[in-house]
Amino acid sequence: MFRFQSFRMYGIIGSAVVTAAVSLVLIKRTGLKSATGEPIAIPARPLGRGIQYAIGGTIFGLGWAFTGACPGPLFALIGNGVTVMIVAVVSALAGTWAYGWLRPRLPY
């Protein structure tokens, strides 16, 4: 993807962004309700300077790069005999736990 030789990944990511944007506009304009009948409320979030997104994206990207695998198929890789991926799963769980512990203390 980063060699710009294939449009496939850009097409997948781009179509996901477009689908999400169109879906959000439709939800807001039509006043759709949830399965329980409650109105769907999408609160506005200030973007700020984007520092939290840069830090979070960097941490996620470094974990992905060090692992050498997309986070999605880690369990499939373990099942296929790549047992070193157990470290990646444990690390991902530890990171998720750390975020859950830190979230109430974060400024947003």
Model confidence, pTM: 0.56
Q: Which of 2-6, 52-56, 83-87, 96-100 has the lowest mean pLDDT?
A: 2-6
What is the arithmetic mean of pLDDT over 4-11?
79
- pLDDT value at residue 83: 92
57 to 42, 81, 84, 100: CA distances (angstroms): 23, 29, 24, 17
23 to 9, 32, 42: CA distances (angstroms): 21, 11, 12
pLDDT digit string, tens, across residues 10-33: 888 889 999 999 999 998 899 888
pLDDT digit string, tens, across residues 39-49: 888 888 777 77
Q: Are 79 and 87 in contact (CB under 8 A)?
A: no
**Structure-block tokens of residue 94:** 């530890």
pLDDT digit string, tens, across residues 61-76: 888 888 888 888 889 9
CB within 8 A of 74, min separation 6: which ones?
A: 67, 85, 88, 89, 92
Q: Are 67 and 88 in contact (CB under 8 A)?
A: yes
